[in-house]
């Protein structure tokens, strides 16, 4: 009984001395669980070599064993730990028998309920009443290291380690990939260290996910799940606490994740992404094991089905479709037959798919072929031997072979090879396209759905050998197929809720669909799966849509970006342009961002050393061009703080008329950057350097407001920013009290109103303008105030958003380097801003498409007399948070800014200069990455020093010089780190009267560390055999190979009988090594 069990537990605890609290020598939070306190105290004793003895617990070992065997166990903690022999769990926590219920498995994984780990933990919770589960990882974990390296090299664990061990590594693939994406430092040891922690959290998630018993016990407050990492070097355990997302995980676990008829239809791009991710999990062995309980089945029965995709696949038993895409019950509406063909309407295939699309509202249909298809091979053989007599073929099989005859015949005609296997492979792909053609020609329902943009039909090939699915996109001739005989077709559906839109040509609609979604498919590649670049394009279909099976490039995307289509892609799927324009989310976002942009653009124009109207014009023309020609649906382009410091210095040197010319020249440089794909290399900049540049720009913007904040009017300007600050300080005695008071009152108020990244009230940005403009209108002493306004410096602001290009004092050579600097910063800011928005809404964008918009924005801003624009983080974030769905919100933002400017610009003339100072100072403070600096202080003071030095150079000399200097210092620091890294491990063992040496090299062997390797490995005394293991080396340049050769020659000369072995040579470096004579001599 429960009472009896509780009694036994208390008696065992009494006998084992567990009723006494351990005294911790360290301070821990008061609410720390008693069992965690015991673990902390025990590990502290272990680290100090002060472990308690059995006598100290008032029981000898014999008595303890007898009591436990008689009364049973009552462990006060459950440990889920790694099998590694270097992690003796009981010793690590100085625990006695009966204290810990220990479950150990390689990598401390909890991948599924099948392996027994979660079941064991459930037994400890439900029957032994243990109040704590602790998942314990450890440093130098081999399983995690293998997962990180497999992920980094895009290797499937099952292919590398075999089925069973590969499954262990595959369970760690998810945290390994996350570590590669999120690690602050890109070196493998740091990524492995980060992955170890993420793997602990991942196992905690899996426990909560798969065990309803544990879920409910945690919800009732009777169980805590903690994580920890054991350092095998020091013996110390780092306690991670409970999962940071535990509340969210419990809510997710409580919900039924199966799709039912109550769910909305899933847009095709989202469904396609789900299938791609599911197949990626299947390939690496990290599948979600499905537990279909009564609750799930009840939901499917009561609410019906709403599958995310329909699938036409082959009947081949080697293709378990639900497994291949790792889907849940209710996810896929599957139709299968031999050869995944589409024959007569009476056969039921087309009718089944029409039901899935028409009644179940599925918006994605995938035609799935597979390699080594027996039906296609049989059809190929029948075609090649058609003139020979053979066995009579049954009627049903004969009809099947006839349906496969067209793609088979086309493959024979197009294939350059006469090999049977090559012809069959091509025929399998052509059969997928042929089936899609037959579906569109035979079904008015499917044809109508594709024409209206409701349905997408994609082709795919499943590889029986690897398990990978190659998604080929929509039919290369889709626009011709949907246009064919469209006027004679009755485009209806069983539900009658699709209407034919005669105002829209289906040809352009389909082209738009193909262009947009093919790009999204190519963008997702979580395990490095890329299509075969050598895939032949079927000649019968041409190549206007790209070769089937090839990843669509940005160049392909750009080549057709101006085709007219009344349908556009949004985050909700494909929508008619009219619906996008009428979407209130786009209007709310566009208008709100415009209201915020006007005062910011005025302020940033002033911060750049030019007139307010130039800043506003930049917001108008930059935003308009980016909205029309860009790729991101969210990125706002306009004047930015990141450029203002640079532009100010150029204005001081050459006058403000230089800005449009700089914008024109930077447009050309940005175009070259896009053509040469230099943006790829720009994004390799360390984050510490880029944030140092941001800190420097923030200081420049903030310190530049001394004049406006204090009402100063220094007469002399210098090219060097620091000297201008000195001039301002010299005139502080002339401070106008009214200006200082206005600044002191408004800066804190604006900080309060702008304390969130995306203010809910769109009028917050107008607080300062609304309060101060009436007072500023009285400038001139009507009330005795000595308050400088924009009118005091610029006169009445006229809405002249277009200004002619005027000659400036700079030559072309004078402007070339500044333009290059502007282009670099603009490209970085724009792509980073677009990437941040993309990550937040999980929607891809084309980098080349975004650069195209930036180039046109720079060119138009130059020709209209504005200044160079770039992507802006805060306004982009505001745009995404307000629910924008399409680039129309960007275009609307520019239009509203233009209307406000034309109607109200003269009123802004009376805006006090102190208000502008308050806006810019608050903006400068907000753009300073304080949280990142705090993180660097705690984690990497070297990176913090690099960040601050970069900022100081930006302020003291020039922002571009600071950026360049920071990158150079980062490269040198990286080279020094690589130079001093312990990448050579030398071990020896006796071999007769001599020694056998084993040398393992990890990482790269290049000019940077080759000399270090020479020094460490040159002198090996009394060697009979030297084995050099290069399995951990993926890069060797000429210097590295040469130095390795020198070392090997030195070994042989010093010990003539010494044998040198080279093993583990990777295929990437073997061609380079084989060109050196010393390598050929080695064994």
Mean pLDDT of 186-200: 85
Helix axes 188-210, 246-254, angle to 10 degrees: 40
- In whole angstroms, how far apart are CA 579 and each of 453, 568, 570, 583, 587? 13, 10, 11, 6, 12
Instruction: Write down the number of H helices and E strands in the chain.
Output: 47, 18
pLDDT reported for residue 772: 52
3-state SS, one letter per residue, for 47-62: HCCCCCCCHHHCCCHH
The residues near 548 (Cβ < 8 Å, ≥ 6 apart) are 429, 433, 459, 472, 473, 476, 535, 537, 538, 541
Phi and psi of 312, rounded to 5°?
-110, 110
pLDDT reported for residue 296: 74
Q: Which helix (H) or strand (E) holds 569?
A: strand 567-570
pLDDT reported for residue 891: 92
Least confident of 62-71, 206-215, 458-467, 635-644: 62-71
- Max avg pLDDT among 224-228, 421-425, 774-778: 224-228
Q: Which of 98, 71, 69, 99 is nearest to 4 (CA)?
A: 71
Question: How crowded is the C-beta side of 358, counted as CA atoms within 13 Å?
Answer: 20
> What are the structure tokens assigned to 724, written together?
């201008």
Query: With bands split at pLDDT 50, 70 and 90, how would you rate the model's confidence at 21?
Result: very low
Integer Rg of the chain from CA: 34
pLDDT reported for residue 572: 66
In the chain the first and final C-alpha atoms are separated, in Å, by 71
> What are the structure tokens assigned to 19, written together?
């009723």
- In whole angstroms, how far apart are CA 1010 and each of 141, 246, 1004, 1044, 1083? 28, 48, 9, 8, 22
Q: Which helix (H) or strand (E) holds 227?
A: strand 224-230
- In whole angstroms, how far apart are CA 93 and each of 62, 100, 232? 21, 9, 13
Q: What is the pLDDT of residues 1023-1074, one digit of tens each?
A: 888 888 888 787 888 888 888 888 888 887 888 788 888 888 877 788 888 8
pLDDT reported for residue 199: 92
Distance CA 663, CA 859 (A): 6
Q: Are strands 237-242 and 132-138 parallel, antiparallel or unpaired?
A: unpaired
pLDDT reported for residue 828: 85
pLDDT reported for residue 564: 44
Helix axes 374-384, 395-414, angle to 10 degrees: 80
Q: Which of 462, 580, 445, 434 is nearest to 512 (CA)?
A: 580
Q: Are strands 309-314 and 332-337 parallel, antiparallel or unpaired?
A: parallel
CA dihedral 40, 44, 47, 53 (to 10 degrees): -100
Residue 77 has pLDDT above 50, yes or no: yes
Phi and psi of 311, rounded to 5°?
-135, 125
For the chain, give the percent of residues with pLDDT over 90: 19
> What are the structure tokens assigned to 874, written together?
């805060």
Q: What is the pLDDT of residues 671-716, one digit of tens each?
A: 998 898 887 777 667 778 878 888 888 888 888 888 888 888 876 7
Residue 872 DSSP symbol: -
Beta bridge partners of 242: 226
- In whole angstroms, how far apart are CA 387 and each of 374, 382, 384, 390? 21, 9, 8, 9
Beta bridge partners of 999: 986, 1028
3-state SS, one letter per residue, for 755-812: CCCCCCCCCHHHHHHHHHHHHHHCCCCCCCCCCCEHHHHHCCCCCCCCCCCCCCCCCH
Least confident of 15-19, 536-540, 757-761: 536-540
pLDDT reported for residue 952: 92
pLDDT reported for residue 869: 94
Which position has the higher pLDDT, 932 or 811?
811
- Max avg pLDDT among 820-824, 865-869, 920-924: 865-869
Q: Which helix (H) or strand (E) holds 471?
A: strand 469-474
Q: How many CB atoms lie within 10 A of CB 239?
A: 16
Distance CA 227, CA 954 (A): 43
Q: What is the pLDDT of residues 647-658, one digit of tens each?
A: 888 888 889 999
Distance CA 270, CA 308 (A): 9
pLDDT reported for residue 104: 92
User: Please, is 247 exposed, middle or buried when counting C-beta atoms within 10 Å of its C-beta (0-12, 13-18, 19+)?
Assistant: exposed
pLDDT reported for residue 785: 59
Q: Which of 721, 571, 725 is nearest to 648 (CA)?
A: 721
Q: Which of 464, 610, 470 is nearest to 533 (CA)?
A: 470
Given a contact cutoff of 8 angstroms between Cβ atoms, the answer to whether 882 and 651 are in contact is: no
pLDDT reported for residue 518: 33
Residue 427 DSSP symbol: H
Query: With bands split at pLDDT 50, 70 and 90, how would you rate the model's confidence at 559?
Result: very low
Least confident of 7-11, 195-199, 530-534, 833-837: 530-534
Residue 533 has pLDDT above 90, yes or no: no
For the chain, give the number of residues: 1083
Query: With bands split at pLDDT 50, 70 and 90, how would you rate the model's confidence at 513?
Result: very low
pLDDT reported for residue 5: 41
Distance CA 665, CA 80 (A): 61
Distance CA 809, CA 821 (A): 19
Least confident of 52-56, 585-589, 960-964: 52-56
Mean pLDDT of 501-508: 32
pLDDT reported for residue 566: 65
For the chain, give the percent of residues with pLDDT over 70: 78
User: Please, is 949 exposed, middle or buried when counting C-beta atoms within 10 Å of its C-beta (0-12, 13-18, 19+)?
Assistant: middle
CA dihedral 820, 821, 823, 825 (to 10 degrees): 160
> What are the structure tokens assigned to 459, written together?
């082709």
Which position has the higher pLDDT, 574 or 272?
272
Token pair 């230089």 in the structure block, residue: 658
Distance CA 1009, CA 978 (A): 7
User: How much helix, strand and coil, in percent to the nearest 5, is found in the chain?
Assistant: 55, 10, 35
Q: Which of 416, 260, 426, 422 is nearest to 328 (CA)?
A: 260
pLDDT reported for residue 870: 92
Query: With bands split at pLDDT 50, 70 and 90, how would you rate the model's confidence at 977?
Result: low
User: Please, is 264 exposed, middle or buried when counting C-beta atoms within 10 Å of its C-beta (0-12, 13-18, 19+)?
Assistant: exposed
Least confident of 676-690, 731-745, 873-887, 1026-1040: 676-690
Token pair 């909305």 in the structure block, residue: 264
Phi and psi of 658, rounded to 5°?
-75, -20
Mean pLDDT of 900-916: 87
Q: What is the pLDDT of residues 348-399, one digit of tens each?
A: 788 889 889 988 999 999 999 999 898 888 888 888 876 555 556 676 777 7
Q: What is the pLDDT of residues 578-590, one digit of tens each?
A: 888 888 888 998 9
Query: With bands split at pLDDT 50, 70 and 90, how would you rate the model's confidence at 156?
Result: low
Which position has the higher pLDDT, 565 or 105?
105
How does the average pLDDT of the chain come out, rounded?
Answer: 78
Residue 138 has pLDDT above 70, yes or no: yes
Given a contact cutoff of 8 angstroms between Cβ atoms, the answer to whether 433 and 548 are in contact is: yes
Given a contact cutoff of 8 angstroms between Cβ atoms, the answer to whether 855 and 667 are in contact is: yes
Residue 561 has pLDDT above 90, yes or no: no
Query: With bands split at pLDDT 50, 70 and 90, how would you rate the model's confidence at 553?
Result: very low
pLDDT reported for residue 225: 94
pLDDT reported for residue 89: 92
CA dihedral 153, 155, 160, 161 (to 10 degrees): 100
């Amino acid at each position: 009984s429960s009472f009896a069990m509780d009694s036994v537990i208390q008696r065992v605890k009494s006998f084992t001395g567990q009723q006494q609290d351990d005294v911790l020598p360290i301070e821990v939070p008061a609410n720390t669980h008693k069992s965690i306190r015991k673990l902390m105290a025990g590990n502290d004793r272990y680290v100090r070599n002060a472990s308690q003895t059995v006598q100290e617990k008032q029981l000898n070992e014999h008595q303890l064993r007898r009591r436990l065997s008689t009364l049973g166990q009552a462990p006060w903690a459950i440990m889920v730990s790694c099998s590694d022999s270097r992690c003796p769990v009981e010793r690590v926590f100085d625990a006695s028998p009966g204290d810990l219920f220990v479950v150990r498995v390689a990598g401390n994984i909890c991948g599924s309920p099948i392996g027994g780990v979660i079941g064991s933990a459930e037994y400890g919770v439900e029957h032994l009443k243990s109040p704590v589960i602790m998942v314990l990882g450890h440093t130098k974990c081999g399983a995690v290291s293998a997962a990180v390296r497999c992920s980094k090299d895009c290797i499937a664990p099952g292919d590398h380690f075999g089925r069973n061990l590969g499954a262990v590594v595959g369970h760690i693939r998810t945290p390994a990939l996350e570590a590669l994406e999120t690690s602050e430092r890109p070196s493998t040891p740091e990524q492995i260290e980060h992955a170890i922690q993420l793997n602990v959290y991942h196992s905690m998630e899996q426990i909560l996910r798969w065990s309803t018993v544990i879920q409910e016990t945690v919800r009732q407050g009777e169980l805590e799940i903690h994580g920890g990492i054991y350092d095998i070097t020091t013996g110390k355990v780092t306690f991670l606490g409970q999962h940071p997302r535990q509340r969210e995980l419990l809510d997710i676990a409580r919900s039924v994740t199966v799709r039912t008829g109550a769910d909305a239809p899933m847009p095709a791009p989202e469904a396609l992404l789900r299938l791609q991710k599911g197949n990626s999990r299947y390939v690496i062995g990290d599948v979600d094991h499905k537990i279909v309980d009564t609750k799930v089945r009840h939901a499917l029965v009561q609410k019906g089905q709403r599958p995310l995709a329909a699938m036409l696949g082959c009947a081949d038993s080697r293709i378990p479709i639900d497994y291949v895409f790792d889907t849940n019950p209710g996810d896929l509406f599957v139709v299968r037959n031999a050869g995944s063909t589409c024959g007569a309407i009476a056969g039921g295939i087309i009718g089944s798919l029409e039901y899935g699309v028409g009644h179940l509202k599925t918006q994605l249909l995938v035609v799935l072929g597979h390699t080594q298809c027996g039906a296609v091979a049989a059809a190929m053989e029948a075609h090649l031997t058609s003139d020979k007599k053979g066995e009579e073929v049954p009627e049903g099989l004969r009809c099947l072979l006839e349906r496969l005859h067209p793609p088979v015949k086309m493959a024979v005609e197009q294939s350059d090879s006469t090999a049977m296997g090559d012809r069959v492979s091509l025929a399998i792909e052509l059969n997928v396209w042929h089936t899609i053609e037959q579906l569109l020609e035979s079904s008015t329902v499917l044809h109508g759905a594709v024409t209206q943009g409701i349905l997408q039909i994609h082709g795919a090939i499943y590889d029986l050998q690897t398990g990978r699915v190659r998604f080929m996109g929509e039919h290369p001739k889709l626009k011709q197929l949907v246009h064919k005989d469209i006027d004679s077709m009755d485009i209806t559906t069983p539900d009658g809720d699709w209407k034919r839109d005669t105002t829209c040509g289906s040809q352009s609609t389909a082209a738009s669909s193909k262009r947009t979604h093919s790009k999204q498919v190519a963008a997702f590649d979580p395990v490095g799966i890329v299509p075969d670049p050598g895939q032949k394009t079927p000649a019968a279909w041409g190549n206007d849509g790209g070769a089937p099976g090839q990843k669509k490039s940005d160049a392909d995307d750009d080549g057709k970006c101006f085709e007219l289509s009344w349908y556009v892609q949004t985050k909700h799927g494909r929508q008619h342009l009219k619906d996008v324009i009428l979407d209130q989310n786009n209007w709310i976002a566009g208008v709100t961002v415009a209201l915020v942009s006007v005062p910011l653009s005025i302020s940033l124009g002033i911060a750049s050393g030019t007139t307010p109207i130039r800043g506003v014009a930049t917001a108008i023309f930059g935003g308009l061009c980016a909205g029309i020609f860009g790729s991101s649906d969210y990125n706002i382009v306009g004047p930015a703080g990141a450029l203002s410091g640079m532009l100010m210095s150029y204005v001081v040197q050459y006058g403000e008329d230089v800005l449009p010319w700089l914008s024109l020249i930077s447009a050309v440089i940005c175009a070259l950057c896009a053509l040469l794909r230099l943006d790829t290399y720009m994004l390799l900049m360390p984050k510490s350097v880029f944030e140092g540049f941001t800190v420097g720009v923030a200081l420049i913007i903030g310190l530049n407001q001394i004049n406006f904040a204090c009402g100063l009017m220094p007469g002399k300007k210098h090219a060097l920013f620091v000297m201008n600050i000195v001039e301002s300080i010299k005139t502080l005695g002339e401070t106008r009290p009214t200006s200082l008071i206005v600044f002191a009152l408004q800066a804190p108020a604006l900080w309060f109103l702008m304390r969130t990244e995306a203010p809910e009230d769109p009028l917050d940005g107008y607080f300062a303008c609304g309060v101060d403009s009436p007072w500023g209108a009285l400038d001139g002493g009507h009330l005795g105030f000595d308050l400088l306004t924009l009118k005091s410096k610029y006169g009445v602001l006229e809405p002249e958003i277009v200004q002619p290009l005027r000659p400036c004092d700079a030559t072309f050579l004078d402007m070339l380097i500044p333009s290059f600097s502007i282009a670099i910063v603009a490209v970085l800011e724009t792509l980073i801003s677009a990437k941040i928005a993309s990550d937040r809404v999980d929607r891809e964008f084309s980098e080349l498409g975004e650069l195209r918009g930036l180039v046109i924005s720079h060119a138009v801003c130059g020709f209209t007399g504005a200044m160079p624009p770039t992507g802006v983080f805060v306004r982009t974030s505001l745009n995404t948070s307000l629910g924008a769905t399409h680039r129309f919100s960007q275009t609307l933002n520019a239009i509203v800014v233009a209307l406000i400017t034309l109607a109200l610009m003269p009123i802004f003339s009376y805006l006090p200069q102190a208000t502008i100072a308050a806006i810019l100072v608050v903006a400068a403070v907000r753009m300073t990455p304080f949280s990142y600096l705090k993180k660097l202080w705690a984690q990497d003071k070297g990176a913090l020093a690099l960040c601050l030095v970069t900022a100081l150079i930006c302020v003291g000399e020039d922002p571009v010089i600071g950026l360049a200097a920071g990158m150079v210092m980062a490269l040198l620091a990286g080279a020094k780190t690589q130079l001093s890294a312990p990448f050579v491990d030398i071990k020896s063992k006796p071999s007769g009267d001599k020694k056998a040496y084993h040398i393992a090299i990890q990482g790269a062997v290049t000019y940077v560390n080759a000399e270090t390797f020479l020094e460490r490995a040159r002198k090996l005394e009394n060697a009979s055999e030297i084995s050099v293991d290069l399995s951990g080396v993926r890069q060797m340049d000429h210097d590295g190979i040469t130095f390795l050769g020198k070392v090997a020659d030195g070994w042989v000369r010093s010990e003539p009988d010494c044998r040198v072995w080279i093993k583990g040579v990777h295929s990437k470096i073997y061609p380079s090594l084989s060109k050196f004579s010393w390598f050929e001599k080695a064994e």
